[in-house]
Amino acid sequence: MALAIMCSGGDAPGMNPAIKKFVDYVYKKGEEPFLIYDGLEGLIDNKIKLAVHTDVAGILHRGGTIIRSSRSKRFFEYEYRLQAYNNLKANNITGLVVLGGDGSFRAMERFSSEFDLNFVGIPSTIDNDINGTDYCLGVDTALNVIRDALDKIRDTASSFNRAFLVEVMGRNCGYLAIVSAMISGAEVCVIPEIEPEYQKLGKRLRGEVEEGRNYVLAIVAEGTKQTTQIHKWLQETIGLETRVSILGHIQRGGNPTVFDRLMAFDFTITAVDHLMLHNNSNKVVAYQKSEFKLIEIDEVVSKKYQLPQRYLDALSLLD
């Protein structure tokens, strides 16, 4: 049996630990592990290589992915999907592990509906926006990067009479923003899921400024597309000079945390074990209530991820 692993879409800390565990574990099971370089583009172009242990030695602590990733427009065309499938068959690959997010799994759903594909997806995105799983690989590392940045920004914010507005990633999901606000003590948090009550927020913050507050930390999720608007509101309504920091892609980098390394271990073992027992799998590994489960790909892509109510409730506690 030959199994392959690939990354698709945005990179996430924890991908390299998953790749290393995949190669080591597949060999331990007496099978052949293949690495697919450059994601879906590499699958189309047959950038498929039988892995050896030296390929993955010393990568567990590294962020990103050594086999690289991509977003592929060509994969939307049937002829290239057929070419990708033929490349898997030519290498006698009978099972595929895909590290990716929502877009990657939608591509795999389409792929598996057309061809005899045996694959398991591992949710890997710092956005934590995959339906059916409580956790995606890379989230803890990203949150720690954000936490470190926010702690440093608050240090300088408290030295001036200023507001600091920090934009975090997350695509259309407010998970990173709300959790970061909760652990940093931010005074304002704006996420796509809930329209902010500017009048209520303004009244509270103006009152606090009058009573001596000399700085404000505000966090906004990129998916709101309101960073400029909130910047203007803080300056004109609250009356504090405001600086904007867009954290950007540093959130996708950095050494995977202990938790992400552990999650990569368990995600990968679960995926490989399932592939070795099934010939026609179209599943995604999900982490639900501290347990790893396999769920159908259509369940993952047919519904939009919803933030847990406890996080939505937490917004009112920031007031």
Fold agreement between 2-138+256-301 and 140-252: yes
Whole-model pTM: value is 0.95
> Which tokens go with 51?
């892995």
Average pLDDT of the chain to the nearest whole number? 95
Average pLDDT over residues 40-49: 98
| pLDDT 10s digits, 180-199 | 999 999 999 999 999 988 99
Average pLDDT over residues 55-74: 97
- Of all residues in the chain, what percent carry a pLDDT higher than 70? 100
**Phi, then psi, of 191 in degrees rounded to 5:** -125, 160
Q: Which residue has the tokens 């009244």?
A: 203
pLDDT at 238: 87
Say how far apart CA 21 and CA 284 lie, in whole Å. Answer: 18
pLDDT at 20: 98
Q: CATH top-level class for 2-138+256-301?
A: alpha beta
End-to-end Cα spacing for the chain: 57
pLDDT at 271: 98
Q: Which residue has the tokens 């990129």?
A: 222
* Domain range summary for the chain, segments of one domain joined by +: 2-138+256-301, 140-252
Give catalytic status of residue 127 as yes or no: yes
Binning pLDDT at 50, 70 and 90, where does residue 239 land? confident
The rounded radius of gyration (Å) of the Cα atoms in the chain is: 22
pLDDT at 319: 59
Among residues 127, 129, 140, 260, the one annotated as catalytic is: 127
| pLDDT 10s digits, 115-174 | 999 999 999 999 999 999 999 999 999 999 999 999 999 998 888 888 999 999 999 999
pLDDT at 158: 84
The yes-or-no verdict on residue 1 having pLDDT over 90 is no
Average pLDDT over residues 96-102: 97
Average pLDDT over residues 64-84: 97
Say how far apart CA 32 and CA 18 lie, in whole Å. Answer: 16
CATH of 140-252, one of 3.50.50.60, 3.40.50.460, 3.20.20.70, 3.30.360.10: 3.40.50.460
